[in-house]
Structure 1
């Protein structure tokens, strides 16, 4: 018989995994322990690495800022010595009281100042009194001190702007003694502005430049300028203020250590509101007696350490939970398969529901299109019905208007026959001319009626003469206006052409004129005014139709443009005239409005202008 085979590693692992769900408490304890260890270890390693990287980066930037500052200060270092050998200045030192030599030296210094790009250049005597300068100036307070100490440069603050100035000095000697000094001043505000801009872009780093008194004379943070690096008691502050080096009161104490490590840096906490922990490093600029301090924000380092710590904790937790996960994987797979089956069933049901809803939306869309087509057809029929209703209201007056010329024509014809028999040809010619005028008037009325009754093309919107439309509308209502002795005033430019369709625009005007005539029937004074006002720099024309009727109440004015609302007696109006007119004006790109006047009403609408006449044409009827 063969010997029993030893259990394979896979079987042993399977047996181990089968026991995992029965001991969850042990693995939860192990997971917690690994989380704590991973958190502490990852936090320390990440913070140490972050500080080292930040320190190395800050050291490189310190060197860059120091080189930049030294280059800026040394850019004009040779200028005073070159000026010292100039014949003009040598002649000035031989006769410093000569006004002519001072003037010549000032002109020369002004030219050099402009070409060199400095702020000021001047020559002073041994006591610090200005002999000649590129411009009128007051010597700095520190000049006398620098002459006594035989300095070649010094810093001083501009009392007007508060910015830092750098002064270069070169002595002028005669006979082994110092007879004067050449002083070149240039401002460090552009360099400081560059630092401030970099500080705004990079909120994590601050640059400070302190003088030999540990007072900040340049800073990427404007609020820290003239602050004290360490701590200054009241007596020291008083002495610093009296030194005339600084134009304003000394700023707050930053309480930085007197010596800072260059490479590793030192963590500091500034005593300022909202200050964060920072890594401080410095670089000494010995020839200038300056300290260049870089403050790097440690917030990002600490945040990264926190993230790394939580990552370490997560790693520890993942190791502790890995065994428990492997044991529960089979059950999770079974649940996943079941969930996928249910998801597929839900997906199929959702597809069926979407198809059903899509079919319903298509039916609804088709029904909506049909309703829109019916509405457009109804609106067109209502528009034509409104025109026919207006024609019906005018039919009685127009029949009377046509009947009178017919009667006169018959009388004139009979009279002409008798005149012919008697040989009075001149009288016959006069009668024929009168008959021709009457026929032309009747033809004009019937032609306008035919055009008005014609169904308009809503798509044909072109250039239309507004005055012709007004006259045609008044012609259709002439029988009513003559009966009421209506005074009509038309103030419309003769050459004004608007963007509209003439037939529909005449319908709007007939509706407005007809409503105005109806409103003035019982008034003693009947006055109709048609006026055009330019709007939008002449690109639009505002048409106003005003009457002297009784007007409307506030309640009726609110419902004026509602369909089938009318203030006329029953049988005299459908209440659609203003609604259709407002729709027509809207299609022309305007809006019909109504306004109450002291006497009567005013209806106005605006139209786009195609051509505007040079002068308006006014006429009274």
Structure 2
């Protein structure tokens, strides 16, 4: 390996190492920033879940206090009204969705219960002991008197002298509370002082225990699933293998709830933070590699140029003796090239002239087709004007003469467009009122439609619809399609021409006839393809081809399909608003 090549390989390796280090730094910074944002979101969700649980439990505490002051509780202290109190407790438990409501006397014996519990004694429970001392007691767990997870509130019942004469105990089931918010986006659980999960929105974590030697949780029975914990940037991350409904890598957040004696904890999936950091690092690495590649290519190009210059100088030095022969050969080659350039210029001029003549020849074949419709309209309006003058109706004759003038101006615009087309020029597209163009086109063919006894089904929108195109060429397309539709219905029993506009992007103008349909829809837009008889008027097969080219220049389209009966031509144009937005 040469010394220069080794030097370049070393530089490339150092650059790649620098890019890797920069990408790692960007990933680390982006990951910590995203973890900070996730921590703020997780703390917000944890606060919301904690407030929700505390609020749900507080109403049961208020129920215990309320029932402790009820007259039925005072009657129970005197050994009376057991059945009435039981009905009251049952009604309160059903309405509040509590597991049980009980009255306990000074010995801890249950005197009345909503669920007919009378044999159990609660005198040894901490929450009843606290209530017998005149304070509000609370506790949670699984055991006496209910063999399921429950939260207990005990409110003291005071006698007339202010002495405690019993306590009302309200038992709250955790299943009812968990059902209201199970399956939330974040995995939230509440642990007691022993680290046992007592309430959670993930049922698989219920009664899991925090191990005594570190963080994490373990099931009460069986082997503990995979778990690992580490800190990064002041954030505690848990790596879990606890099932499909818990994240594999989660940010662990904690919040104390002394009001209910529990600790709220949440697991926030860090996968979005890693993806964001990975994306940022990838972008930085791509930019650095692109810059390095450009710099490397520039360096290699400069080195190649320098090597080429050295070789060139060496060759010039070696060939100094043969310079005269080379000059003679060069002069001969220059002469030959000048002759070739002259011949090429003549050929190019001939080719340009031939192209112009070819274009003019193609356009001359279609001029009669382009001007036939306006000429027919002018003839019709002129005949009508003569009839109106004979009848003494000069106003109607003046109106027809005005229409003749409009048709003449329209023919002038058509000739202008044909001239522009023949010289390969295109007028700029402008905003065109589609409704006005359709109204004018329908008006031009309405006389012929009436003569052929064709029912013309068209309703003008009554307001402008602005599209992208040219007024004259767009009207030429519509008149051509409508005229072809009239020709197609010449032998049909039912003759109906339907013209409709479908709003959308693009806009669609549908022209449907009741003729025999199109024999070859895939060939109908080919030049010189026609289904009319040879020698028939306007039967050269250029109309649809020209119309198709016009719509292509507007960014539109013409589609055709056969219906039952007849054929449907759909002209798609672009709305003017969409063009301006683009």
Larger of the two Rg values belongs to structure: 1
| TM-score, structure 1 as length reference | 0.43
| TM-score, structure 2 as length reference | 0.46
Q: RCO (CA 8 Å, sep 6+): is it higher in 1 or 2?
A: 1
